[in-house]
Structure 1
Amino acid sequence: ISAVHDRHGNVQHYVALFSDMTQMKQRLQLLERDARYDALTQLPNRLLLAERMRQALGKARIYQQKVAIAFIDLDGFKALNDSYGHDWGDRVLQIVAARINATLHEGDTLARLGGDEFVAGLVGLQAVEDSEPLLKRMLAAANAPILIGAQTVEIAASIGVAFYPEHGHEVDGLISKADQAMYLSKKAGGNRLAFCPTRFISVNNEV
Structure 2
Amino acid sequence: MDQDGMRRRRMMDRAILAAALLTALLVALVFDIVVKEEEGNTAGLMIEMNEALGLALLIVFGLLVYGVRRLRDQRRELEARLQAETEAKRALQLALLDPLTGVANRRHFQDTFTAASDGRIGTNAVFMLDMDGFKAINDTYGHAAGDEVLKVVALRLQAAVGRHNLVSRLGGDEFAVLVFNIGGESDAERLKQRMRYEAEQPIPIGRAAHSIGVAIGLSLFPQEGADAAAILARADEALYRDKRMRQAGLSRRGATAPEVTDEACSEPG
What residue number does 1:33 align with?
Answer: 93
- In 2, the alpha carbon distance for the partners of 1:126 and 1:150 equals 41
User: 1:172 Cα deviation (Å)?
Assistant: 4.1
Deviation per CA, 1:69-101, whole angstroms, max 9, x where unpaired?
100000121122111110010011111111121
- In 2, the alpha carbon distance for the partners of 1:191 and 1:167 equals 28
* Alignment equivalent of 2:10, drawn from 2, 7, 12: 2
Q: Compare the two structures and name the one with the higher helix fraction.
A: 2
Q: Compare the two structures and name the one with the higher strand fraction.
A: 1
TM-score, normalization: structure 2? 0.63
Aligned CA distance change for structure 1 residues 152 and 106 (closer, same or farther; 3 Å): closer
Instruction: Tell which deviates more after alignment, 106-115 or 68-77.
Output: 106-115
Matched, 1:119 2:176: yes
Identity score, percent: 30
Question: Structure 1: 5+ residue runs without aligned partners?
Answer: 193-199
**Alpha carbons 1:73, 1:159 under 8 Å: kept:** yes
What residue number does 1:197 align with?
Answer: none
What residue number does 1:43 align with?
Answer: 103
Matched, 1:148 2:154: no
Q: Note the 1:69-108 alignment, pairs <5 A.
A: 69-108=126-165
User: 1:45 Cα deviation (Å)?
Assistant: 1.0
What residue number does 2:254 align with?
Answer: 204
* Number of equivalenced pairs: 192
- In 2, the alpha carbon distance for the partners of 1:131 and 1:181 equals 13
**Alpha carbons 1:167, 1:177 under 8 Å: kept:** no
**Alpha carbons 1:158, 1:191 under 8 Å: kept:** no
**Alpha carbons 1:191, 1:202 under 8 Å: kept:** no
- In 1, the alpha carbon distance for the partners of 2:201 and 2:247 equals 15
User: 1:46 Cα deviation (Å)?
Assistant: 1.8
Structure 2 residue matching 1:169: 3-state secondary structure: coil
**Structure of higher CA gyration radius:** 2
- In 2, the alpha carbon distance for the partners of 1:143 and 1:26 equals 37
User: 1:201 Cα deviation (Å)?
Assistant: 5.8
- In 2, the alpha carbon distance for the partners of 1:95 and 1:55 equals 28
User: 1:190 Cα deviation (Å)?
Assistant: 5.0
TM-score, normalization: structure 1? 0.80
Q: Which amino acid aligns with 2:230?
A: G
Aligned CA distance change for structure 1 residues 5 and 116 (closer, same or farther; 3 Å): closer
Aligned CA distance change for structure 1 residues 191 and 129 (closer, same or farther; 3 Å): farther
What residue number does 2:45 align with?
Answer: none
- In 2, the alpha carbon distance for the partners of 1:170 and 1:92 equals 33
**Alpha carbons 2:123, 2:184 under 8 Å: kept:** yes
